[in-house]
Amino acid sequence: MAKLRAIDFFCSIGGMTYGFRKAGIDVIAGIDIDSSCKETYESNNSGSKFIPADIKKYSIEQLKTDTKIEQDDDGLIFIGCSPCQYWSIINTVKTKSKKTKNLLSDFQKFVDHFKPGYVVVENVPGILKKAKESGLNKFVEFLESKKMGYVVKKGVLNANHYGVPQNRRRFTLIASRINNSISLPQSKNKKKNIVADFIGEWNGFQKIEAGHIDKTKFKHSAASLSKNNIKRIKLTKKNGGTRERWGKVESLQIDAYKGKDYSFRNVYGRMSWDKPAPTITTRFNSLSNGRFGHPEENRALSLREGATLQTFPKSYDFKEKSMGKVAKHIGNAVPPELAKRIAKSLK
């Protein structure tokens, strides 16, 4: 069998790259429009080249020059985990993400030309729910066409069943033109992966307060909280509490939630030690953007805690200085452990 090598399109800081490398697959390069990912990507994935490029403008000839890959390589894998905010089920303003909603079609041109042995796509479940609008239907038809000849397996996986301590549902597609017996990774976990298995003092996370800045590479830094938010989280029951306890306190109630204490219950909530975390988003270090309160301490998750719940190793060095930028990079990443399981299913 040909030695497996991969190109990681839309690589960000390297979650998918790191997981594939851990599974023994050589990732030649990662491509991403966000050049701020370059230093973090390359410093943690030595030998994998970061190519800063807009996939809409990047040409087939440029990719060939940059990576030295050839057409019809049976051992070549193209990974396409394009930005997915537009197709997310989370109710956000779609204007900013509209430009990236058809990146699957842009990825397709490279598959069409190089015809790699394998193709992997990971995205939000919304891309499947709106398969016609998102271009997924056309992409699958293209792969399965007589011209391309790929066998396609697809479905929605919960990362919690694959070694990740989050309820993180992701659409996953694996395709091959040389192996008819491919399949999505099988879950081997006998128990749920929970928050207490990954963070907490017993896992090397010392107690800190809101606003703590860790100047070491560990980046156990937590965002500051306003005086009212400090009061709110202090009143929030530890280990899974919601804003219910302070919802009736006039000075602490928030206009948007008046009379709606049982709506959007995750917002301002604490995580539970004995349950998986919610999906780690790009704002996981913010108390007001989901159930991102620490199970016990009066703060939101630190940067390193979020990265660990994403299954990045504690040695992964996030080079950006801005807390917001690091959080965005971490939240956008594919959990490396899920990536590793996908890669192993290919092998």
| Helical pair 103-114 and 60-67, crossing angle rounded to 10 deg | 60
Q: Are 204 and 214 in contact (CB under 8 A)?
A: no
- Written as one string, the DSSP assignment of 119-181 is EEEEE-THHHHTHHHHTHHHHHHHHHSTTT--EEEEEEEEGGGGT-SB--EEEEEEEESS-TT
The active-site residue, picked from 11, 37, 81, 84, is: 84
Residue 84: active-site member? yes
Tokens 């998986």 correspond to 276
Alpha-carbon distance 68 to 199, whole Å?
A: 42
Tell me the residue type at 82.
S
Tell me the residue type at 34.
D
Residue 308's CB: how many other CB atoms inside 10 A? Answer: 24
Q: Are 113 and 106 in contact (CB under 8 A)?
A: no
List active site positions: 84
